[in-house]
Amino acid sequence: MPKSVVNDFTTKIATANGTGSQSANNILFKTLVRMGIPTSAKNLFPSNIQGLPTWFHIRTSPQGYQSMRRKSEILVAVNPASFTSDHAAVESGNVVIYDSARISIPQEKKGVSYYPVPLSTIAKTNFDNPRIRTLLTNTVYVGVLAELFNLDTQIIEQVIRDTFKKKQKVVDVNIKAVTLGIDYAKENLKKTDSYTYNKSDQTPNKIVMEGNAATALGCIFGGCTVAAWYPITPASSLSESLETYGKRFRSDPKTKTSKIAVVQAEDELSAVGMAIGAGWAGSRAMTGTSGPGISLMSEFIGLAYYAEVPVVIFDVQRVGPSTGLPTRTQQGDIQLCASASHGDTQHILLLPATIKECFELSARAFDVADRMQTPVFVLTDLELGMNLWASDPFEYYDKPFDRGKVLGVEAMAKAKKFERYLDSDKDGIGYRTLPGTPHPLAAYFTRGTGHTEQATYSEEPDVYERNMKRLAKKFETTTQYTPKPLFTGDKNAKLGIISYGTTHHAIIEAQDLLRVGKKSAKCLRLLSYPFHDEVKQFIDSCDHVAVVEANRDAQMAGLLTQAYPGSDRKIKKVAFSDGFPMDPVRITDTILEVI
């Protein structure tokens, strides 16, 4: 047997959509995390309810890499429909575990360890209910993997108990299915491969969460009280989580009243309209959507920009254009969001890369929106939003709300007059009042038409131009309130890498790959747009700057060259997108090609 490979390989599980493999896969993921092994998961699923192929990649990595490898070492083949192509990718040294009740191997490949397990027959003969049988077929392979690769069975059982909590019957059948898998493997399989999972101490005390849930939790801490949304993959679970957390954290135990209103609107126009109305009236309000929703919301986004209404818009990006690949990931809405709507518009973007940042930046987004009186976009993507991630526990977010420039009744009592859009502080941001303020000077008329400093209607050329210039100045003020970029890598390197969002995970690995080729790089990760001065300084300090992103048109590179026209000579576009999470190997190769 070749030298054993410990904790550094990828297991690919091929199932059919709608057969309940998700719960088995999640049990597997959590087990590995609790075993202390750095683990990441990518769920590659189709836009379909039942039947089409779906894959779950579980990568363990002693280096802690969390990006998606294109290769895998262990194939768990449960779906006959995808087996031919799944098997085609198998190489010498790999492992194939397959449901031998439904899949036969036409020709075995050399150097591959094959483990036939009649998964569906085992489930069929041991469980009566047809639906349960299908579900537990998946749980059986958890047991097989446990036996073959040394998963801790006590941890598996505890994860099952924690997952299904008080549903004792469900706990029992799942544990039984795992045991059946273990027993079958013990009796019938002889280990011929070299892979093993060994307990480690690399990931103590981790929490496991999807990005969308972390974002929703951020909304709770950010003080969001009105949320309106329309169902769309991959954003739905964000608002659904917010509703769940609303019931848990915002419901008054005595009166049963709720300190959050979550409304499923009839479309995205209505969703953002409700959020804008609530934001204008003083609530911290959000909507959650994906690219197609942003397209629909664009007219409203322009209104909120021009009339200066705070609102937070979450875009969990998926592959466009049009319906595109609705269950695949992309960073394709950067320029759309940076300037959504007709006319001259500029918007603030926040760019989390981890579930911890989903939590913190989402909470912070409401402060930025209130302070800047404008829409704030939080851009995540399907990879971050809909996958499980392990993370250190979040710290309690205790930053006080920044409600921005709001004049209450006391302030109004001292005021001689109120001019909504007057730049009295010379930062471009005016003072606002909220409807319901009992003072005769407090009222103003908000409009999407041209307006004066006093919020009255105007088509005067100088009034319009003055207002638009003030809005541009206000946008420049943004960086005082938004998170600065983060720096890693070799300070003295002349090769710079700029990334943002989930591309971060591939960049960590790409940096090491570059180092292997004796190429060192320094990295800047953007957390927000507009750019801080540090971004300019970083570009200036490099010979070449590779801007790495998951889209075809190098959208962030476009914003950078627009912001720093002199730097376009240095900026190298490393932009590609096939719908899967970014591949560090391809990033590394492309960087070496373009510099």
Partner 1 sequence: MAEATNRAGLTKKDYMGPPSTLCKGCGHDSITAGIVQACYEMNINPHEIVKTSGIGCSSKSPTYFLSLSHGFNGVHGRAPSYSTGIKLANQTLKILLVSGDGDSVNIGIGQYIHTLRRNADMLYIIENNGTYGLTKGQFSATADQGSPNHYGEINPFQPIDLPQMAVELGASFVARSFSGDRKQMITLIKAGLSHKGCAVLDIFSPCVTFMNHDTSPKSYAYVKEHDIPLQELGFVPSFEEITVDYKEGEAKEVTLHDGSRLILKKLAEDYDPTDRSAALAMLEKGIREKNVMTGLIYYKKDAPTLGDTLKLPETPLRDFNERDLRPSCEDFQEFLTELK
Residue 121 or 258 having the CB closest to partner 1 = 258
Nearer to partner 1, 248 or 569 (CB): 248
Nearer to partner 1 (CB atom), residue 10 or residue 391: 391
Instruction: Extract long-range pairs of 42-47: CB within 8 Å, 24+ residues apart.
Output: 42/68, 42/383, 42/387, 42/580, 42/581, 43/386, 43/387, 44/328, 44/580, 45/17, 45/327, 46/17, 46/327, 47/233, 47/325, 47/326, 47/327
Question: Least separation, in Å, of the C-beta of 258 and partner 1?
Answer: 5
Nearest approach, Cβ of 441 to partner 1 (angstroms)? 9
Q: Decide whether 201 or 593 has the Cβ nearer to partner 1.
A: 201
How far, in Å, CA of 328 to CA of 312, rounded? 24
CB of 123 to partner 1, least distance (A): 29
CA separation (Å) from 45 to 18, 55, 90, 499? Answer: 10, 6, 20, 26
In single-letter form, the type of residue at position 394 comes to F
Give the CA distances from residue 575 to residues 44, 130, 231, 550, 571, in Å, rounded to whole numbers and listed in that order: 21, 47, 29, 6, 12
Choose between 321 and 448: whose C-beta lies nearer to partner 1.
Answer: 448
> Whole-number minimum distance, CB 283 to partner 1, in Å?
4
Is the preceding omega at residue 530 within 30 degrees of 0, hence cis?
yes
Q: Which is nearer to partner 1, 46 or 450 (CB)?
A: 450
3-state secondary structure of 246: helix
Give me the least distance between CB of 118 and partner 1, in Å please. 35
Quote the least distance from Cβ 242 to partner 1, whole Å.
Answer: 13
- Distance in Å, CB of 196 to partner 1, minimum: 24
Q: What is the C-alpha to C-alpha distance for residues 468 and 460, in angstroms, rounded to an integer?
A: 12
Which residue's CB is nearer to partner 1, number 71 or number 399? Answer: 399
CA distance 557 to 336: 14
Residue 186 Cα distances to 28, 107, 177, 191, 407, angstroms: 19, 25, 14, 10, 72
Residue 537 to residues 202, 473, 475, 499, 531, Cα–Cα distance (Å): 36, 21, 20, 16, 11
CB of 590 to partner 1, least distance (A): 36
322: CB partners within 8 A, 6+ apart: 292
Minimum distance, C-beta of residue 559 to partner 1, in the bound complex (Å): 27
Q: Which is nearer to partner 1, 48 or 449 (CB)?
A: 449
Residue with Cβ nearer partner 1 (110 or 256): 256
